[in-house]
Structure 1
Amino acid sequence: MNIPGYELVETLGAGGFGTVYRARQLSVQREVALKVDSRPLASERDRRRFMREVTAAGRLSGHPHVVAVYDAGVLPDGRPYMVLELCPGGSLNDRLQERGPFQPAEVRDIGVNIADALAAAHAAGVLHRDVKPANILVDQYGNPGLADFGLASMPTPGMESSATREALTPAYAPPEAFRLDEPSPAGDVYSLAASLYALLSGRPPHFPPDRQLSIAALMAAQQQPVPDLPGVPTALTAVLRQAMAFDRNVRTPTADAFRDALAAVDMQSQTPLRTMPAPPVPIDGHTTEPAIQPAPAGQSRGLSQGLILGAAALVGAGILGAGALVAFAPDSDSRTGSDPSKTGAVQQGGGKDGGAAPGKGTGSGNANAAAAADKKLYGVETVTANCPAALVPGARARCTRTAECWGGGIWVNGWILSMSRFDCKEPHGRQVFAIALMPPDGETGDRDLLARNPTVRKVCSKNILRRSLQGRAAKYRSWKWDVRVIPPSQSRFEKGDRVYRCAGEVPYGKKLIGGVFRPR
């Protein structure tokens, strides 16, 4: 796919409605989110839908809590695209799934900001109609912003303004939407309040812990007031409850009124929420110690998959959750730096396939020969001792003897063209925590296909990443990391290179200094 003026960097997410790419806008050399719709504009209704989204978002791009729209157009095959502000912090739904409920004061502040964005939208004649945690993104400075105006309504004579039930997100839709009533500002107020309640409780309002609820049962449950939440000031819950009133004539009527009510809540008496530990993470049938990120029972992840028809990656308008596998790929020919064998690191002990330590057991000659064979196979010196990736059965995974650090890369159609190698003593974005031979059923240089392979997913997992952190690096808790799969470059793959790497990256544009997975 070629879009003049833009260079694709990587795929951030894909779903039934389209794909979001990280791209570089060449004219100003900035990274952006490029959202390409999979539905060609085949009819006048389709064109109106696309122009509604572009116009609605464009009207509000100057607001500090609305994700900016930079550009839009249509591909030769009729598929429309939008160029949006890149939000590396992910969506609030991503963070909810990774870390569990938010603290009340943070939720109140998020609510004030997004309610102000809705107030600006309503003043401009725009109704969002799909406010939910997945559509609130975090920019590079940590600020929340409202995204995805795909269902936005700008009531105009002759233009349809009612959404069908199939286009709704049931967990956050107001009661009147199920009756197909005309949308109103009060509907957006309800959806924002429901989103804030979900951030506090771990799941949408009116949903039981088992997340099993039919649409008819949900519509009946919406007539009941939502309960108080442990550790959340009753004044905050009362404001949310008023904004989620079943009768919109009783509900908080406007976004600016909701914003002011949230801002007036006294948070001094708040008590921190207690989050639940995550369940153990299985590796090939065996259970390991629990992962760090909490995953409370009843959070919205299962519900979203069962009821929400939109693609989570698309409604994120340019990000994929920190817990997801996002593929990457270096140009092995571009490696620089010293020979890892000269760092003085010594393998400790032996492993199932790691050989004996130098100078012990079978003798240094055999150990050196084994190390040379491994280096020829993997391209670098590797170890299995103290290497969590080596414990994944059948994966032929190891750790590099010394730290490997990488920057960004350029790829086309899933294949890497080049990637920068960094000295780990200098600020860098990514570090390798595992290196492995491609599984027989997954020999491909296409990063997307490789990342979906079951064996690769076990090796390049956040559980393996977390267990690989060494020394003071333990302060980098696992929920802060993205996982990248790095295949060989296209040229190296064509020459027979079948080695891939798993790299960890701390998001939000932060940099690492020094080795956090291996010495150096």
Structure 2
Amino acid sequence: MGTEGADIRVIAGRYRLEARLGRGGMGVVWRATDQLLGRRVAVKEIAQDNSLSAEEARQQRDRTLREARAVAQLSHPHIIVVHDVVVDDERPYIVMELIEGGSLADRISAGGPVGAQDVARIGVALLSALNAAHAAGVLHRDIKPANVLMESGSDRVVLTDFGIAQVAGATTLTETGSFVGSPEYTAPERMSGSRTGPESDLWSLGALLCTALSGESPFRRDSLGGILHAVVFAEFSPPDQAAPLLPVVQGLLERDPERRLGATEAERMLRTFLDTGRTPQASQVPASPPSATDRQHGYTPTHRDLPSQQPPAAAPPRAGQSTRGMLVAALLVAAMAGAGVSAAALLMNGDDDGDGRPGSSAPHTPADTSSTAAHTSSSATSTTSPAARTSSGAPNTSTAPAPALTTAPSGYRVARDPAGFSFAVPDGFRRDSQGERVFYLSPGDTFRIGVKVTDPEPGGPLAVMRRAAAKGPDTNPGYRDGRVTETTQGGRPAALWEFTWNGFNATEGARHTYDLCWEEGGRMYDVWVSAPVGKVREAREYFDVAVDTFVRT
């Protein structure tokens, strides 16, 4: 039992709590003395909620023990050392090494932005710590400036507070629906609850580095709903102060965890900056052939047929993982956190339009609906007359259409279009014909699936797409990151064009487009999907399903 005097309290008959160092969501940290060994320590007293049931209180103690086990596995100069775990008066305490000095959050609060050299040094230390933790199967899951300690009188950076860490193979104590962590530093995929891995810690680190460089979290908003919207949907605009380390910050804050910068590469880039004053671009890692697991999770011809010397344009979403799932989870988090109607409304608006644009069930005007078509291949924008068009080579000997599509994946329906094709489109999408172009539009027109069927053009699909890409800046405001990749569709030559652009007005916001063009049966087919940049994972899913199920009729 603990004893308590006017100024001190002794727990477990050994540790004298002397002064409060700080308070967090999981409890109070005390400066203390280990009376048995005669050394200074830090003791974390886990907060107790008297309203908890006996089972809930047990789960809380289990969480504490799990934290201690997780950190006790690790031996690294940049990870806090755990000395002991004790239970006193049914309350758990964690005894750790005492770091003399404040947190990174304290430093930012007192002095504002941190210089790029110091931020790079902090990043290298934390990446080294995360590499060690991840190798041991330990995820931190709450990386933020308040959990990074800066030792006075040395350059030592220490990662602490593994209070919600998840050890591989251990039971997840948050599966009941409660959300743990700091939303401003929580990766988008964690919002869905469908995936948490080392990549999620790296996202958090990217947000931390950006915060240190600018003095403020890039995802800070006035409400929880606003924060969740910023993390999951809104376009990320890095602050000017992040420029020296921008390749690292942007790489770590890539929303797609499959494309996110890895810890080893990020550490290499930061070390190069420390040595040279310049941050290199990330190395391009050759793509590997698809594995059985890839195919099981929907690895499609769109990805499989990309040449091995170039990485896929985007990784396929895992089963059950989409922006739709992130939105639902974000709404639940907002509701559980008491954010109320305002947060829910904000996020609901995000699902309707992705960028705050008022939803509308009315069809676009021809100029607006062609915002995905005007950008597509020159088969969608060509002014060449039909008589002038010629085939790029010998026609495909197979002219018979494939069997009609009869089934669609869950959440989709079969669209048998009078223009002479069928494919799977998401439930709730409506058809809108615009001359040669046929659109299938989501509610609010956030997602636009377009199809155009024309005569073949000179040079075949690859030449068509390259000509279209050359006109990209003229047809798509703010055109950037465009690339054309030679691929195949159903064994036939094809070309994939991917790019980002600003949308046709400020209200529409930045968008990303996937566009595939191929020839079949003496005709040229062009299928594309356009969506807000914050919803590229869901857009990629729609694109892959459309292409993989497309059948001419």
TM-score w.r.t. structure 2 length? 0.45
TM-score w.r.t. structure 1 length? 0.47
